[in-house]
Amino acid sequence: ETGVTQSPTHLIKTRGQQVTLRCSSQSGHNTVSWYQQALGQGPQFIFQYYREEENGRGNFPPRFSGLQFPNYSSELNVNALELDDSALYLCASRREGAYSVYGYTFGSGTRLTVV
């Protein structure tokens, strides 16, 4: 198992810019979710993709968007960055079947700082 890998590990952007974060899911996993985690808080659900379609979304504005590719890698795009977007962004994947549910495998995250 290769696990979930995220890139980059750290990033500094200026307010108003756009950013793309990347994630490579664990082999065999068909579902990927993205989370935002502020310091001292639990992860906040942004959205989930299953077989390249978004099938769940949390309370985040449309400037947060994503893609999942046929090889199950994915991207999180954030437009018009705001200072409050500074956080740890986590990617998580799991295998979903008709009758089975598993826990998520998380990456180590991308620490985004908006200045």
Partner 1 sequence: SQKIEQNSEALNIQEGKTATLTCNYTNYSPAYLQWYRQDPGRGPVFLLLIRENEKEKRKERLKVTFDTTLKQSLFHITASQPADSATYLCALDMSNNDMRFGAGTRLTVKP
22 phi and psi angles, rounded to 5 deg: -120, 150
Q: Does 7 bind partner 1 (CB under 8 A)?
A: no
Determine the interface stretch with partner 1 among 11-19, 61-69, 70-78, 105-113 (rule: CB under 8 A): 105-113
What's the rounded Cα separation, in Å, for the pair 28 and 100? 14
Alpha-carbon span 73 to 108, nearest angstrom? 15
The verdict on 24 binding partner 1 (CB under 8 A) reads no
Q: Tell me, by CB under 8 A, how many residues bind partner 1.
A: 26
Does position 72 bind partner 1 by CB under 8 A?
Answer: no
Applying CB under 8 A, the residues found at the interface with partner 1 are: 4, 33, 35, 40-45, 48, 50, 55-58, 90, 92, 101-109
